[in-house]
Structure 1
Amino acid sequence: MDMFNLSGKVALVTGATKGMGLAIAEALGSAGATLVISGRSAHTIAEAETHLSKLGIRTRALLMDLNDQASVESFAHMAKDAFGRVDVLVLNAAANTPNGPMIGRTESEFDEVMANNVKRNLTLINAISPDMIGRRDGSIIFMSSRVAKRGTSQLGLYALAKAAIDQYVRNLAIELGPFNVNVNSICPGPVRTDFSRILWEAPGREAQVAAATPMKRIAEPTDVAGLALLLASSAGRFIHGQNISVDGGLTA
């Protein structure tokens, strides 16, 4: 029995045009899943769909803009209709947040960060989870961050939003566990993606971050994708309600 086989499953991965989202989509699709992916740009989402299709992965690409509640609601309905079901929901899409401390931020900045990075996830969960409950089967994977677990003066609002994501996991674990739907979050450390470019592109910055990491390097997107595959597959069915770090030992 291949415990990582996702044949016959449909996986929805938001924010899957590049970086960790695309790597996760590749991993799930290569394990046999049919994919629904989202992105904000028609050009980049078409490129991702073409890339995945060339790998032999059945893929439907749909536009979704976290800044637009109506766009998220429309995407949720289209995603369910694409292949008739969603077995794995990976909530990877996130909006940029202002760097720096929380002190001095405005209420409008706070509201925007929480709406785009926290509230929109609830829209998707409310749309997708009832079918999982009815089938008594499913997996929900949030993308959190290492900074959700510690204080920071540089990523205040981002860390706050990710801490809320980790609490989503704990609450939903209690609510959905009785229906055999497992819920977890992945908490990466520094990863080589455009989203976290500030952590590795500046001269000397990557070496500094790597030096502080026990494994002496930053993560690649594929390092995160492996955990997503575990959590989506039968191999990870009893992993539930966890906020799991993928950070090369930084948490230690």
Structure 2
Amino acid sequence: MSIKQRFDLTGKVAVITGSSKGIGLSIAKGLAENGAKVVISSRKQDAVDAVAKEMQEAGFEAIGIACHIGEADQREALIAKTIEKYGRIDILVNNAAINPYYGPLEDSDEEVFDKVMNVNVKAPWLLSNLAQPHMKAQGGGSIINISSVEGIHPGFKLGLYSVTKSALIMLSKNQAKEWGRHGIRSNAVCPGLVKTKLSQALWSNEKMVAGYTGVVPLKRIAEPDELAGIVMLLASDAGSYMTGGVYTVDGGYLISG
């Protein structure tokens, strides 16, 4: 099999959370372009339907299933409806996340902590657990957890978010260790600053952007499409021996200190 063929995802089914916009949407489009049947998922049905329709009109196979990943019944429905439609799940991209608080640790509160932990850590854990039996039964699968460089290197005023993203990295490693015998791979992708709605408070701050781009070797902020490539590798047979890894897409942020 050629390298090009190993990237082919024809016949594979991919579920991508938080995929109606931003990084998730770019990943979903990339997976679809490589042949996967994609399940577009975010909190609002009209938003996922609009993306799925757009992709269908472009000649790709896609459906939209609304899911607030912080809600147990909606997580269960996402997996159940995917299986009902396609009969399998080969790729799960845990991309959806929140960052409701920007500030010092001591000024936050328990309610915010519980909320961010529930969505950024607990939900990917439980959603992966729901997908695992299906991947195990079919002989394998790929779980890709979208973490952050903030989970590796602490920044300022993103403490709670950093804690959750660090936990997601360790979740990926434990999934890889425990589920590898079933042919299930799990990896973490750690973006740097990307121009998305989630990070708008950062990239809309001119002073902050100037400081960031002045330090980062590539001298710019990333676009969402620049995250898709690493996911294509990890999702496909081209990355068949890659598991338990932590991959940064950060313009050199982590080497800039």
1:243 matched to 2:236: no
1:102 and 1:74 map into 2 onto residues whose CA distance is: 35
Counterparts in 2 of 1:103-252, with a 5 A limit? 103-252=106-255
The answer for the alignment partner of 2:87 in structure 1 is 84
1:41 matched to 2:65: no
Q: Is 2:8–2:34's contact at 8 Å kept on the other side of the alignment?
A: yes
Letter in 2 for 1:23: S
1:84 and 1:143 map into 2 onto residues whose CA distance is: 25
- SS of residue in 2 equivalent to 1:8: coil
Q: Is 1:36–1:82's contact at 8 Å kept on the other side of the alignment?
A: no
1:131 and 1:67 map into 2 onto residues whose CA distance is: 21
TM-superposed deviation, 1:167: 0.6
1:66 and 1:183 map into 2 onto residues whose CA distance is: 19
1:67 and 1:86 map into 2 onto residues whose CA distance is: 20
Q: Is 2:49–2:63's contact at 8 Å kept on the other side of the alignment?
A: no
TM-superposed deviation, 1:247: 0.3
Unaligned segments of structure 1, at least 5 residues: none
1:95 and 1:71 map into 2 onto residues whose CA distance is: 17
- SS of residue in 2 equivalent to 1:103: helix
- SS of residue in 1 equivalent to 2:64: strand
Q: Which has the higher helix share?
A: 2
1:124 and 1:66 map into 2 onto residues whose CA distance is: 8
TM-superposed deviation, 1:185: 0.8
1:51 matched to 2:57: no
- SS of residue in 1 equivalent to 2:78: helix
Q: Is 1:80–1:128's contact at 8 Å kept on the other side of the alignment?
A: no
In the superposition, the TM-score normalised over structure 2's length comes to 0.94
Deviations 1:70-102 (A, max 9, x none): 222222221222211000110111123311122
Q: Is 1:66–1:95's contact at 8 Å kept on the other side of the alignment?
A: no
Unaligned segments of structure 2, at least 5 residues: none
In the superposition, the TM-score normalised over structure 1's length comes to 0.95
Point out the more displaced range, 30-39 or 77-86. 77-86
Q: Is 1:8–1:34's contact at 8 Å kept on the other side of the alignment?
A: yes
Aligned residue pairs: how many? 252
Letter in 1 for 2:245: Q
The answer for the alignment partner of 1:29 in structure 2 is 32
